[in-house]
Chains A and B, each alone.
Chain A
């Protein structure tokens, strides 16, 4: 495998509804911005990888509509759909295409326009044998697992609400973030409508319209195009059993994320993630999930996640800032959300994150989480 780096990133302003742009136009906006950020044109791109959950928009084979917006004309183009991990999985696929020597420059584009479709109904179209009779959507499934996690680890609704407040406060520094709630309080989160005990409305991610793109370049090309490329040091994905009842206390054990992190950390030599990482962009669709990820990613001992948020360790000014972009809790166009995690981690390494830049980032972590069946871990570094 060749050393491969991210040399550019671009995204749209994420909002509730982008009525001014068709899906192809939305995707093109992100792709064009990423190409400009990388200082290249589409002519330089060897291959395109797309990420989207097509059922949400009801266009089978969306690459037949949107692919040209991503610049797929006469280029190798493929699409990946793995739920919430669609974006990070596409980033891993694009990395493999580049690092393997197949292509020198690869463009990855993820998008979703939830405003146009039937996301909630789409998410209820689960396993027809066992799940559909009792489907309760993403929120219900998360709430079930949160009840186990909270009972075992003792995390409180207040600690979860602090995660939600942190995300929205950070998002206020990110002009592309969807939810802009700089003055949100813990009380407001706890008083917001209950979706499924113990998950309140403001504990949950929004549904956004948006697109995000990154550009990979192989060693030899990357250094010429970018003064400070974000080198990919590890890219790992893991799949789990698909029936929620078969998973042993999923947020407590988090087998996929733990296993992916272990493999990635070993490759890079991470033994103390809290100390070694300078920033993390993790895929937290719900406030409680971020606390569970702290443990699964080894940021703290089991049972100490609540203390981490209480002590401000993961705030912008803390030892390990988590989601300075505002995270999925502030912006969630599903097919793009994973690409956003990787793009934001890369922007931090490239020192192009703007008002939410963390000083002196050399090592950054990005993760993805898809339904309850996938976890992705990607580590980026200023060093090869």
Chain B
């Protein structure tokens, strides 16, 4: 049986998301004032927290800010035991951790966030929780570390204390409350992730790559229907949709069919002798002026070969 090869790639992806006015205002209030702002739908009157730019039910634009408390009621919960790669850190998130959908006081929707508790026996739907804020706020939802349960007695005491202190708080009205943001900040969220892939080459591509690696030979495969010799060799003809039949050694030399050059390196389509399709590869030259369609080229194989298309390192003028 043919040795089956795998081709591995790690890809680093980076994004920069425009977060728009509603996210900017929410984050400003969260970071600078430790306050939570929701948006109210002008039609169904639901208060969305997190704020949404549009009510999905009514398809109405949301512009009316509403202050929402940092205490609320658990509407759903779980304790997660299976680790995921945290997209904000790129590392597996330690388990177990509690998650909940929390309806904050003053909101009609629920916020997806962490719980301090990770014993399911101590959790129930309907329990009261309070945000535990981080000492240093950076302007993300994680400025709230998690939500912790509060006893009814403690909550009553806290409410009494806050009503005494509220007179001073009321003197500083929420900026932009009940009005559109006049001068929205630009706010962007940057994110990145590393993703690893391990592709099965399949029987035909494995055989092709092993011939490169072990014999420095280049093979095509013939379609029994259209008779074309396809390079690299593959298991089926994409035009005729039939299995390829015999394997044919092609080249090693070929003819340049097309190229795009930068200095002394060209990205090229090379028709190897005996092939009916072009191989996509690169051509090294000392001077780009040497390149022309119809140029005869010869392969240069890598010293160390590992079963990869770059075992054929590059082509050069023959």
Stretch at the interface among B165-173, B188-196, B275-283: B188-196
Partner of B76, one of A25, A139, A144, A194: A144
Of the listed residues B50, B78, B193, B238, the one surrounded by the most CB atoms of chain A closer than 10 A to its CB is B78
Instruction: Give, as a whole number of angstroms, the nearest-CB distance from A323 to chain B.
Output: 24
Cα–Cα distance between A103 and B154 once the two chains are bound (Å) = 68
Of the listed residues B4, B101, B205, the one surrounded by the most CB atoms of chain A closer than 10 A to its CB is B101
Partner of B78, one of A140, A151, A245: A140
Cβ of A25 and Cβ of B99 under 8 Å apart?
no
Interface size on A, residues (CB 8 A): 66
B43 within 8 A of A: no
Cβ of B9 and Cβ of A58 under 8 Å apart?
yes
Hey, what's the 0/1 contact readout for B180-199 against A, CB within 8 Å counting as 1?
A: 00000000010101011111
User: Given A148-B125, A245-B50, A118 and B84 touching (CB < 8 A)?
Assistant: no
Cα–Cα distance between A132 and B112 once the two chains are bound (Å) = 10
Cβ of A194 and Cβ of B189 under 8 Å apart?
no
Interface residues on B, range: 35 or more
Cβ of B79 and Cβ of A196 under 8 Å apart?
yes
A81 within 8 A of B: no
Cα–Cα distance between A118 and B9 once the two chains are bound (Å) = 11
Partner of A20, one of B81, B113, B197, B200: B200
Instruction: Give, as a whole number of angstroms, the nearest-CB distance from A194 to chain B.
Output: 5
Cβ of A143 and Cβ of B189 under 8 Å apart?
no
Cβ of A21 and Cβ of B203 under 8 Å apart?
yes
* Chain B: CB-nearest residue to A195: B82
Cβ of A19 and Cβ of B6 under 8 Å apart?
yes
A120 within 8 A of B: yes
Instruction: Give, as a whole number of angstroms, the nearest-CB distance from B30 to chain A.
Output: 12
Cβ of B203 and Cβ of A20 under 8 Å apart?
yes
B87 within 8 A of A: yes
B162 within 8 A of A: no
Partner of A245, one of B11, B110, B203: B110
A113 within 8 A of B: yes
11 interchain pairs, CB-CB under 8 A: A21-B203, A22-B199, A22-B205, A73-B238, A117-B195, A118-B85, A124-B84, A130-B141, A144-B77, A244-B112, A246-B109
Known: A18-B200, A128-B17, A147-B125. 8 other contacts (CB 8 A): A17-B200, A120-B84, A122-B195, A128-B189, A132-B87, A144-B76, A194-B79, A196-B79
